[in-house]
Amino acid sequence: MSYQGRTRKFGRKRDQRKHLMRSLSRSVILHERITTTEAKAKSVRPYVEKLVTRASSDTLANRRFLLSRFNNDTMIVSKLMRDLGPKYRDRKGGYTRIIKFERIPGSGRTTAIIEFV
């Protein structure tokens, strides 16, 4: 029996989707709040939350894992390890919230704000 795939494709190929998730998560981490479409916000949420969970324990393996996800961008990794990781260390999950915003005229897509709690 075949089941539907769980990933949203956004009309992109696999590498393009991977880079889209990385750039969206980079923006969320740097700015701590971004406005995007609802579907992209729902897709980037688990990606960001797994990164924050990794950043909550400052080990060499976790730091190297985060560096590999962001192409050795030390600014993002240091923000994760120094600011966001310790802030959410005692929290079990649910580091982000998605607030539905307004519809985009013409296409009818719903915009959403994704931010840290």
Q: Which residue has the tokens 């120094």?
A: 82
The total number of residues shown for the chain amounts to 117
3-state secondary structure of 80: helix
**The pTM is what?**
0.89
3-state secondary structure of 32: coil
Which stretches of the chain are DSSP H helices? 14-31, 38-55, 60-69, 74-79, 85-87
Phi-psi region of 75 (alpha: psi -120 to 50; beta: other; left: phi over 0): alpha
DSSP lists the bridge partners of residue 110 as 103
The CATH H-level superfamily of 33-116 is: Ribosomal protein L17 (3.90.1030.10)
Band of residue 95 on the pLDDT scale cut at 50, 70, 90: very high
105 has a pLDDT exceeding 90? no
Contact 38, 98 (CB under 8 A): yes
What are the tens digits of pLDDT across the range 11-58?
999 999 999 999 999 999 999 999 999 999 999 999 999 999 999 998
Distance CA 72, CA 113 (A): 27
Q: Which residue has the tokens 């990606």?
A: 47
Band of residue 5 on the pLDDT scale cut at 50, 70, 90: low
3-state secondary structure of 108: coil
Enumerate the domain spans of the chain. Answer: 33-116
